[in-house]
Amino acid sequence: MKANLPEAEPRQLEDWNQKRLYDRILASREGAPLYILHDGPPYPTGEIHLGTALNKILKDMVVRSKTMAGFRAPYIPGWDCHGLPIETQVEKELGRKGAVEPAEFRRLCRKFASRYVEAHIRDFQRLGVFGQWDAPYLTMDFDFEARIAGAFLEFQEKGYVYRGKKPVYWCLHDRTALAEAEVEYDEHVSPSIWVRYEVIQAPIDPQRRGRFYALIWTTTPWTLPASLALAFHPDFKYVAAEDAEGNVYLLAEDRLEPFMAETGVQLTRRAERIEGRKFEGARFHHPFLDREIAGVLADYVTLDQGTGIVHTAPGHGAEDFYTGQKYGLEAYAPIDDEGRFTEGLDDYRGKTVFEANPLILDLLRRRGALVASSKLSHSYPHCWRCHNPVIFRATEQWFVNMEHRDLRRKAIENADGVQWIPDWGRDRIESMIRTRPDWCLSRQRMWGTPIVVFYCDECGKRLEDFAALKHVLDWFRREGADAWFARSAEELLPAGTRCSCGAGRWRKENDILDVWFDSGSTHLVVLDYRDAYHRFPADIYLEGPDQFRGWFQSSLLVGVGLRERSPYRSVLTYGWALDADGRPMSKSLGNVILPSEICQKWGADLLRLWVASQDYHADLRMSDRMMTQLAEAYRKLRNTFRWALGNLGDFNPERDAVADADLWEFDRWMLSRTAELAERSRGWYDKFEFQRVFHAVQDFAVVDLSAFYFDILKDRMYTFAPASAGRRSAQTAVWRIAHALVRLVAPFLVFTAEEVWKYLPHRSGDPESVHMARFPAADEFGAPLDERLGANWNRLLVLRERVLRALEAARNEKLIAGSLEAKVRLGASDGWRELLEAYRASLPALLQVSQVEVAPMRPGDGDGSAAHDGLEIEVQRAEGAKCERCWNYSLAVGTFTEYPTVCERCFAALGEIVQAAGESGKSGR
RNA sequence: GGGCCUGUAGCUCAGUUGGUUAGAGCGCACCCCUGAUAAGGGUGAGGUCGACUGUUCGACUCAGUCCAGGCCCA
């Protein structure tokens, strides 16, 4: 029974798979209450990393502990198959974008995802995770795509969905929207200009000879035609400063000096000083257009650069856009796909934005709005494909209105009813929902669920006949969402679907859904449409802290939006997997440790122990040192089991177990303590506090069993007659303890527990796998030991500790070596006397010495060396000779002619053995 | 920069409603055993409880500030 987990575990997996153990575990819980952990779908790319393994192992431990607590707890793993990362991988394999038709491109994406799903399944199984691996859910399943598209239609039908504008990264060269991940930053030289906006109305009106201006700074002159507001920081102080001509400028107090230093413009500061927040609602003149500009407030205004006043173009910046939303400003972006101005002054209309930069500079100069200008080299986003600088451009997108039908308020209310573990999760999700903008659902991509919208070819109106629209879902169910790309609008819609204008030709929407909408909809399918385990809401969602913004939120919004309630009853979150120094693992840092490496070097049970040993609510660290430490802990636990199994070789619980009443009191005491451990562990499993179970079990195995109980039992196990009442009592206790302990560790040490279970003697009712068993129940350990008797043993434990210290002292003085060479004289005062007399017969075994003498305390002996608290301990050499058989010393050794080298206990034991051999006709030990 | 979280011996984890010299296991040092032996047992040394400032008769435990690290945003 050597460990060698990396080799043994795969064999065990093979065996489990052949037996279809997962199915049989569920079958064994037929009729039991359901407990549903709904799996958050990972993204199928690359090899699983430590965080993914942590995720799956925790889920597995929850599912297993619930199963062992008596629930029917199926686990249906899933994958989030659509999305940009796969598209870019496939594009990389193809060599370029747009190399194949959309339908073919999607086929390749599907294939790519399938490939990695299969790799993941192997990886996850290797970790010992049990689940429905032969029927996982995939968001790219035809049925799934139909359900997701259907959910979008339902959102639309309920009136949540609207079309609005939002700025996205846009590449002028490729004429396409770019995702965050497709943008890379590079040095770029931009104009750096200071522009003045004349004040129409502001909270101050300084006396001046000239005019009154607000001063702004920008590196994108071309965004000025779309300038709709000036943003002030509510907490900054703003001042007025006068130039040589008597014009007065408004800017942040802390930016006055830097401005003069950078531009050489001389200004004289005036007395006025005013808080930024007062400028909300102020009004300004656009520098060259006939437009009034609003004063607004924004937290992102900084004092690092510029003037502390930010020109805001909601159509050309992410922050500007949110500010615009807040103040009801349009995401105005008067440029086309090539970046050419579609309206505005002749100076720049028809030019691209980069061509327009110098032209607008000229324009500003002519209008007298340019205060200063220079150049600035800074980090600027570029297209990762063509390496040209990109811009922010507002485009038409689909949104979910957070206020419609009180979605935001209801989501917060429902989140409040969820049990968040740890409970700060509630505050975190609530504050996020409270401040989040409308949900932008659309993506200008191909590999995803299409947004099912048709426009009339004639009048451009949207089709709103939902019965007809739902017809499309049938196509999806048959052919997958690929049908959207492979079939014409007329094929997809029922024959003769007409617009209210009378036309019958339609144009399909090109956008696809945000993948968060896919994953946010998983509960609609997995919790509902898999009839066998119908349970809505799920009992638990379990993911990392990044999912407060991700899956927890998207699932909640879909659940509340369509079902009026949260799809989960409780949410358990864990921390991040970090390296030994507490830094996140990354390729660039070169500190990545992969689960496959751990499995190969240490075994999956060790990786699971890594999870079980730490408080996962905070971040978890991984290091070689920790793995070494866990391996030591594992070996100790394993050897403890091994000793128990080795001593149960001739024990059949149904034939040899001793009745409760006949168990030795010492054994009953240890069983009581095991019962307590089991009881506490069940409570900890219930609260998902796995590390408490691990530490308590480890402590128990090391301290109570290995160093104490089992060590003491060796005498009984090795020297008593095999079938003697005393030895059978010990075996009964050891069997019950091992039987209980193996089930307590089964949720984390899945392979090792099964191995122990295999070698453990069983009763006829025991299941064949430890993973079908239930946690030890209170009544498995016999009647609990009387409290008074338990107290006696706790005192005897104190006695033992003190005797061990005295023995150590004797060892150092070379009086004895092994403890059996000792005789201990206990001088006891009244407090101890009664107890020691009562347990006198048990003392040599308990103290692991050959002889114990209990005597009154020596009067007047108070030197304090070994005597205190009414107990005096004196170590002497044991009397008599060493028994060859049991190694105890006894005066009786040599007195038995039949067995001259043996003590009186062994003489008796040998007699029993001979007698038993005679009765059964077989030999003894 | 903002929201949330974490910070107890070298490592992992306990520390009950604030109350006597802060506990455990591992590791380490030294010793013993050789019938769990690529084992087993014993003894012992390790902590200004992230830092500082308050509240209190008394704070690892309460409050505030800061530092370090993490997640998500900007």
CA neighbor of A449 nearest in space, from A135, A77, A152:
A152
For the ranges A24-38, A430-444, A534-548, A754-768, the lowest mean pLDDT is seen at A430-444
Question: Following DSSP, what letter does each residue of A666-681 receive, concatenated?
Answer: HHHHHHHHHHHHHHHH
- Residue A922, pLDDT above cutoff 60: no
Q: How far is the CA of A346 from the C1' of B4 (A)?
A: 51
User: What are A264's two structure tokens?
Assistant: 């050489």
Q: Is there a contact between A505 and A463 (Cβ–Cβ < 8 Å)?
A: no
> Does residue A865 register a pLDDT over 50?
no
Q: Is the pLDDT of residue A866 over 60?
A: no
Of A48-57, A170-179, A550-559, A771-780, least confident by mean pLDDT is A170-179
Query: Hey, what amino acid is at A602?
Result: W
Q: How far out from the chain centre does Cα A211 lie?
A: 59
Residue A489 CA: distances (Å) to CA of A144, A147, A260: 21, 19, 62
Show Cβ contacts of residue A3 under 8 Å, excluding neighbours closer than 6 positions: A603, A634, A635, A638
Residue A868 banded pLDDT, cuts 50, 70, 90: low
Which residues are paired to A584 by β-bridges? A578
Chain A residues 535-554 within 7 Å (CB) of strand B: 544-546, 548-549
How confident is the model over A385-414, as a mean pLDDT? 91
Beta bridge partners, A560, equal: none
Q: How far is CA A99 from CA A89, A91, A96, in A?
A: 13, 8, 6
Q: ipTM of this complex > 0.90?
A: yes
Query: Which tops the pLDDT comparison, A470 or A306?
Result: A470
A809 nearest nucleotide via C1' and CA: B43
Name the nucleotide nearest A707; use CA and C1'. Answer: B41
Quick one: CA dihedral A507, A511, A517, A522, positive or negative? positive
Judge if the beta carbon of A614 is closer than 7 A to nucleic acid strand B.
yes
Percent of chain A with pLDDT over 90: 74
Q: For A611-638, what is each residue's pLDDT tens digit?
A: 999 999 999 999 999 999 999 999 999 9
User: What per-residue confidence (pLDDT) applies to A1?
Assistant: 38
**What pLDDT is recorded for position A752?**
97
**Is strand B within 7 Å of residue A757 (CB)?**
no
What confidence category does residue A60 fall into, taking pLDDT thresholds of 50, 70 and 90?
very high
Tokens found for residue A314: 């909601």
Cα A891 → chain centroid:
65
DSSP run (H or E) holding A28: none
Distance CA A57, CA A129 (A): 7
What is the structure's pLDDT at A531?
Answer: 63
Report the length, in residues, of chain A.
925
Task: Locate A468 and state its tokens.
Answer: 């007809």
Whether the beta carbon of A437 falls within 7 A of nucleic chain B: the reply is no
Helix (H, G, I), strand (E, B) or coil at A311: strand
pLDDT for A438-482, tens place per residue? Answer: 898 998 889 999 999 999 999 999 999 999 999 999 999 999 999
A435 strand B contact, CB < 7 Å:
no
Q: Which two tokens stand for residue A597?
A: 């490496």
Q: What is the pLDDT of residues A564-593, one digit of tens each?
A: 999 999 999 999 999 988 899 988 888 899
Contact flag, residue A185 CB and nucleic strand B, below 7 A: no
- The pLDDT tens digits of the residues spanning A871-919 come to 899 999 999 999 999 999 999 999 999 999 999 999 999 999 999 988 8
Question: Which residue matches tokens 């702004």?
Answer: A216
Q: Does residue A357 surpass a pLDDT of 70?
A: yes
Which pLDDT does position A860 carry in this prediction?
Answer: 58
- Mean pLDDT confidence for A403-413: 96
Q: Which DSSP category does A462 fall into? A: B
Q: Using the 8-state DSSP alphabet, how is residue A857 labeled?
A: P
Measured CA distances, A526 to A39, A67, A77, A569, A672 (Å): 9, 20, 10, 15, 44
For A620-635, b where at least 16 C-beta lie within 10 A, e where not — what string?
Answer: bbbeeebbeebbebbe
- Tens-place pLDDT, residues A149-160: 999 999 999 999
Instruction: Say if residue A374 is exposed, middle or buried (CB neighbours under 10 Å; 0-12, 13-18, 19+).
Output: exposed
Q: Name the band, by pLDDT with cuts 50, 70 and 90, for residue A530.
A: low
pLDDT band at A654 (very low <50, low <70, confident <90, very high): very high
**For position A599, what pLDDT does the model report?**
96
Q: Is the CB of A923 under 7 A from strand B?
A: no
Q: Average of pLDDT values for A293-312?
A: 86
Q: Please state whether strand B lies within 7 Å of residue A710 at its CB atom.
A: yes
Among chain A residues 391-430, those with CB within 7 Å of any atom of strand B: 422, 424, 427-428
Q: Is the CB of A695 under 7 A from strand B?
A: yes
Q: Where does residue A583 rank: exposed (0-12), middle (13-18), buried (19+ CB within 10 A)? A: exposed
Q: How far is the CA of A424 from the C1' of B56 (A)?
A: 29
Angle at A592 between CA A588 and CA A594, to 5 degrees: 145
Mean pLDDT over residues A798-817, rounded? 94
- Is the CB of A698 within 7 Å of strand B? yes
Cα separation, A682 vs A680, whole angstroms: 5
Window from A409-418, A525-534, A844-853 with minimum mean pLDDT: A525-534
What would the DSSP string read from start to end of A154-208?
Answer: HHHHTT-EEEEEEEEEEETTTTEEE-GGGEEEEEEEEEEEEEEEEEEE-S-----
* A635 beta carbon to strand B: under 7 Å: yes
Q: What is the mean pLDDT of chain A?
A: 92
pLDDT band at A923 (very low <50, low <70, confident <90, very high): very low
d(CA A125, CA A16): 11
Helix (H) or strand (E) holding A101: none
A666 residue type, one letter: F
What was the pLDDT predicted at A879? 96
Closest C-alpha among A806, A506, A566, A765 to residue A654: A765
Give CA–CA dist A167/A335, Å, rounded: 12
Determine what percent of chain A is predicted with pLDDT higher than 70: 97
Nucleic strand B near CB of residue A321 (< 7 Å): no
Distance A735 CA to B44 C1' (A): 35
The answer to whether the C-beta of A613 is closer than 7 A to strand B is yes
Q: How far is the C-alpha of A855 from the C-alpha of A491, rounded, in Å?
A: 103
Asked whether strand B has any atom less than 7 Å from the CB of A632, the reply is yes
The bases of strand B with some atom under 7 A from any protein CB are 1-7, 10-14, 24-27, 31-37, 39-44, 69-74
Confidence of residue A494 (pLDDT cuts 50, 70, 90): very high
The span from the CA of A55 to the CA of A80, in Å, is 15
The predicted model gives A193-202 an average pLDDT of 92
What's the rounded mean pLDDT across residues A743-749? 98
Q: Which residue has the higher pLDDT, A186 or A853?
A: A853
Contact A198, A212 (CB under 8 A): yes
CA angle A696/A763/A685 to nearest 5° reads 25
- Tell me how crowded residue A162 is: count the other CB atoms within 10 A of its CB: 13
Closest of A551, A548, A571, A595 to residue A688, by C-alpha: A571
Helix extents (H) in A532-603 = 551-563, 595-601
- Compute the average pLDDT of residues A292-298: 90
CB-CB contact of A657 with A735 (8 Å): yes
